[in-house]
């Protein structure tokens, strides 16, 4: 319904009222609504109201910028903004960072009144963690000090600025831009005038304490929830964070050592390692659970690989380092022991290593969204172009593009926000070993980094990026930054991609009856399957022949689910029927490794018929999902009914044992197999399937149906065909059958196979009886 001028002005007035009340969400929405109303009025009646629409949009944009500066209720302005004038001595108008229950008894004091000034140079071992749970911050400061000593880099010190009035400003990279955190020079002390946060012992250097205070203000207070140094250093100095899970099955021990052994001595990276909450106290190293340790050196001597660690926490007087250089908080560990003992390796990479980079800022808009899966994902396409000689062989370490997804912060107390990123080539090439398909699991970290190798001999290419979010909040900002390791690779966002002409969305669910797991399970066949028909606009294509390789069109399949469900999409050539077994040569497209919460595949398909299978990795992963199909060409997609859909189902179990494992007819004891007497009360459609209860490689089975008059089992009236070792089992296809009694015989090709099985019988009438025939 069109809005009148009075309606538009009323909406604008309400927006202004919410803005005055600092209700940014409602103000932003109403300004956009007012802009739309004024724009409509300017087109239909009076053009002068276009200025009103522009003004409303400007206010909405101002609010959007301001909202990205609000973190934990504090306004963290851009580093380029002009500061207001303050009285001297400066007192932070935001107040002091909350102490929570960390400091039971403390007093805020100006250090100049308590601690004598010092100019002594700091060593990493001078950083002492007290009672604040910020071991990652202490480790971050320690590795920066070590870097400064070796490479004269002035890290952190160059980010902290002071003025004569007691004001400190820390330049930080947060929410997609460099901002400034402003604090005064008061620090928390105990009754004995000891610093309660980071201290530097007798050297009395205070700048680490001010860095800590500014960071604690940014993160919501000294009752810090904890972090890791890669996250901290990205905020504090803008270095690129990489978290390597040392417990992951995909962890590459030798390759990782080679990478850090090359970069660390050159000052190209800094590192810490972290334990998990289950790490027991080691008798020799005495490692603390859930604790970060600074890496101050790595080296190779006498074929041994060593890592030097520093623990910033002082547990007792015996833990203090002395002037001779001896420090009980310094640990020397072999690289193999590091990999076996710690949970995570946190690497921060120098940004200037990357010759080219581009950034995208966006947001996931969730509140009142009609299409939640679409709102919680954002699709980008990244183009890359190489300018080197295609015949030249570039160094392997430059053949990479790094993609960093960063979630913006509004409230650091939120612990149920998760992100993931999916990176893959736009055009799927099945069987190509160099095909790019990198996916991250959902994490509640603020960063996810993917490193992608590209082919330097190709002049150009494109990557599809899917930034994903799982949470319960109305609007969440994010930044995607792509880095090129080579100056010869130029990056750009593809902004000319037209929206797909045809789109279809299907809502479904994986249930106890339809969650068949991955293709190694015999139940894979029960997964949701869909008949996809891709039309050829120029010529018709028979559904009974394999599609032509000409006139291919791009088809994009995207699935979304809860973050605890690992998904895969596979498309196979077919006649649109339900498949029971996945044959690799029939696969035309797949989304790659199973990924929690999302799956995506983009492939060029010829006109014809396909079966699309959506599956979770495990049988117990159940829940709702959304499958979306997009293409510039016309297509049809519809669900394929389950085997036996609309029919009565009866399941019975049996086994081949020492007496009944008689084998096939060639074993001359076929009649000794288990025989099931099936009574059909009236004319019916009938089908049956035989499945092994446990996987038995190499065991081939058959299922045959005999009339009861054929007591010697010599002439069957229906069979599953040749003996097969298919994981899904074998089946007698649906057929018409008259009333009466029949014998159903499951058998293995070889005799002596002891195994349990199940028979699934389908019929269009009820009342079928199944009993084991007595011998």
Look at residue 548 in the predicted model and tell me its pLDDT. 46
Q: How far is CA 341 from the centre of its chain?
A: 25
Secondary structure element (H or E) that encloses residue 49, with its range: none
Q: Is the dihedral of CA 280, 285, 286, 289 positive or negative?
A: negative
Look at residue 68 in the predicted model and tell me its pLDDT. 86
Q: How far is CA 682 from the centre of its chain?
A: 55
Look at residue 28 in the predicted model and tell me its pLDDT. 81
Look at residue 431 in the predicted model and tell me its pLDDT. 42
Domains and CATH numbers, the chain: 5-67 (1.20.58.80), 246-313+334-349 (no CATH), 354-493 (2.60.120.380), 502-639 (2.60.120.380), 648-772 (2.60.120.380)
Look at residue 429 in the predicted model and tell me its pLDDT. 45
Residues for the chain: how many in total? 775
Q: Rounded distance, CA 304 to CA 309, Å?
A: 16
Look at residue 327 in the predicted model and tell me its pLDDT. 75
Tokens of 211: 């860095």
**Residue at token pair 């689910």:** 561
Look at residue 304 in the predicted model and tell me its pLDDT. 93
**328 in the Ramachandran plot: left (φ > 0), alpha (ψ -120 to 50) or beta?**
alpha
Rg (CA), the chain: 33
Look at residue 280 in the predicted model and tell me its pLDDT. 55
Q: Rounded distance, CA 759 to CA 687, Å?
A: 10
- Longest Cα–Cα distance in the chain: 108
Look at residue 579 in the predicted model and tell me its pLDDT. 92
* In contact, 706 and 742? CB cutoff 8 Å: yes
Look at residue 283 in the predicted model and tell me its pLDDT. 42
Tokens of 623: 């829940």
In sequence order, what are the residues at sequence separation of 6 or more whose Cβ sits closer than 8 angstroms to the Cβ of residue 302?
none
* In contact, 728 and 739? CB cutoff 8 Å: no
* In contact, 401 and 491? CB cutoff 8 Å: yes
Q: How far is CA 162 from the centre of its chain?
A: 40
* In contact, 591 and 536? CB cutoff 8 Å: no
Burial of 133 (0-12, 13-18, 19+ CB in 10 A): middle
Q: Rounded distance, CA 648 to CA 708, Å?
A: 22
Q: Rounded distance, CA 703 to CA 499, Å?
A: 50
- State phi, psi for 256 to the nearest 5 degrees: -65, -45
DSSP letter for 514, please. T
The whole model's pTM is what? 0.81
* In contact, 712 and 671? CB cutoff 8 Å: yes
Helix intervals (H) in 133-175: 135-151
Below-50 pLDDT ranges, the chain: 283, 392-396, 428-435, 539-549
Look at residue 609 in the predicted model and tell me its pLDDT. 95
**E-state strands within 562-621:** 566-573, 587-590, 595-596, 598-605, 608-616
Q: Quick check: helix, strand or coil at residue 657? A: coil
* In contact, 604 and 633? CB cutoff 8 Å: no
> Each residue of 677-735: pLDDT tens digit?
999 999 999 999 999 998 888 899 999 999 988 878 888 999 999 999 999 999 999 99
Look at residue 569 in the predicted model and tell me its pLDDT. 96
Query: If we measure between CA atoms, which residue out of 469, 485, 504, 455 comes closest to residue 367?
Result: 469
Q: Rounded distance, CA 444 to CA 413, Å?
A: 12
Tokens of 663: 């084998």
Q: Quick check: helix, strand or coil at residue 256? A: helix
In sequence order, what are the residues at sequence separation of 6 or more whose Cβ sits closer than 8 angstroms to the Cβ of residue 301?
none
> Each residue of 437-458: pLDDT tens digit?
566 788 999 999 999 888 777 8
Angle between helices 50-67 and 5-20 (to 10 degrees): 20
């Amino acid at each position: 319904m069109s809005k009148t001028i009075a309606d538009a002005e009323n909406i604008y007035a309400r927006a202004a009222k919410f803005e005055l009340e600092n209700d940014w969400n409602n103000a932003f929405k109403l300004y956009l609504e007012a802009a739309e109303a004024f724009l409509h009025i300017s087109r239909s009646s009076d053009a002068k109201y276009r200025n009103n629409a522009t003004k409303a949009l400007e206010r909405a944009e101002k609010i959007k910028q301001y909202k990205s500066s609000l973190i934990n209720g504090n306004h963290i302005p851009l580093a380029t903004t002009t500061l207001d004038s303050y009285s001297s001595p400066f007192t932070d108008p935001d107040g002091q960072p909350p102490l929570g229950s960390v400091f039971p008894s403390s007093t805020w004091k100006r250090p100049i009144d308590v601690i004598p000034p010092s100019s002594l140079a700091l060593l990493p071992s001078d950083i002492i963690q007290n009672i604040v749970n910020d071991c990652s911050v202490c480790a971050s400061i320690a590795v920066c000090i070590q870097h400064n000593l070796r490479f004269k880099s002035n890290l952190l010190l160059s980010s902290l600025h002071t003025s004569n009035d007691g004001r400190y400003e820390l330049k930080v990279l947060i929410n997609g831009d460099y901002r400034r955190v402003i604090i005064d020079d008061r620090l928390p002390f105990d009754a004995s005038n000891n610093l309660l946060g980071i201290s530097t012992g007798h050297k009395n250097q205070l700048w680490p304490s001010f860095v800590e205070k500014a960071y604690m203000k940014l993160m919501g207070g000294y009752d810090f929830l904890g972090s890791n140094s890669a996250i901290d250093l990205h905020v504090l100095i803008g270095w690129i964070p990489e978290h390597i899970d040392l417990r992951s099955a995909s962890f590459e021990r030798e390759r990782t050592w080679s990478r850090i052994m090359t970069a660390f001595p050159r000052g190209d990276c800094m590192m810490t390692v972290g334990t998990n909450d289950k790490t027991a106290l080691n008798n020799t190293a005495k490692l603390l659970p859930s604790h970060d340790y600074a890496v101050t050196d790595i080296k190779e001597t006498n074929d041994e690989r060593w890592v030097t660690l520093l623990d910033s926490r002082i547990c007792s007087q015996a833990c203090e380092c002395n002037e001779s250089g001896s420090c009980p908080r310094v640990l020397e560990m072999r690289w193999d022991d590091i990999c076996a003992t710690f949970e995570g390796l946190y690497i921060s990479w120098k940004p200037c290593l990357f010759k080219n980079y581009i950034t995208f800022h966006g947001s996931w808009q969730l509140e009142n969204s009609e299409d939640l899966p679409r709102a919680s994902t954002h699709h980008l396409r990244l183009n890359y172009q190489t300018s080197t000689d295609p015949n030249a062989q570039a160094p392997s370490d430059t053949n990479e593009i790094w993609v960093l997804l960063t979630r913006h912060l509004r409230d650091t107390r939120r612990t149920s926000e998760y992100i993931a990123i999916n990176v893959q080539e736009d055009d799927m090439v099945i069987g190509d070993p160099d095909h790019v398909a990198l996916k991250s699991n959902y994490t509640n970290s603020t960063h996810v980094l993917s490193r992608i190798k590209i082919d330097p001999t190709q002049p150009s290419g494109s990557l599809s990026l899917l930034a994903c979010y799982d949470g319960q909040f109305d609007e969440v900002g994010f930044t995607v930054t792509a880095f090129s390791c080579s100056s010869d690779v130029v990056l750009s966002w593809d902004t000319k991609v037209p929206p797909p002409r045809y789109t279809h969305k299907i809502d479904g669910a994986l249930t106890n009856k339809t969650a068949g797991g991955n293709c190694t399970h015999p139940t894979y066949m029960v997964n949701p399957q869909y008949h996809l028909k891709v039309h050829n606009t120029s010529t018709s294509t028979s559904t009974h022949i394999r599609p032509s390789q000409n006139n291919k069109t791009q088809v994009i399949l995207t699935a979304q689910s809860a973050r605890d469900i690992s998904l895969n999409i596979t498309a196979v050539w077919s006649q649109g029927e339900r498949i029971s077994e996945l044959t690799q040569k029939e696969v035309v497209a797949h989304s790659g490794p199973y990924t929690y919460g999302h799956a995506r595949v983009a492939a060029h398909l010829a006109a014809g018929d396909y079966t699309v299978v959506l599956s979770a990795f495990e049988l117990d992963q159940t829940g709702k999902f959304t499958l979306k199909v997009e293409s510039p060409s016309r297509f049809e997609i519809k669900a394929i009914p389950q085997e036996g859909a609309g029919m009565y189902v009866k399941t019975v179990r049996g086994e081949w044992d020492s007496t009944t494992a008689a084998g096939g007819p060639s074993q001359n004891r076929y009649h000794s197999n288990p025989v099931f007497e099936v009574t059909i009360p009236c004319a019916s459609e009938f089908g049956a399937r035989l499945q092994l209860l446990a996987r038995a490689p190499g065991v081939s089975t058959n299922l045959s149906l005999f009339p009861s008059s054929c007591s010697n089992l010599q002439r069957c009236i229906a069979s599953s065909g040749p003996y097969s070792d298919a994981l899904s089992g074998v089946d007698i296809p649906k057929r018409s059958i008259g009333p009466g009694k029949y014998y159903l015989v499951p058998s293995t090709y070889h005799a002596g196979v002891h195994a349990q099985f199940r028979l699934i019988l389908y019929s269009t009438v009820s009342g079928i009886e199944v009993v084991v025939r007595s011998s």
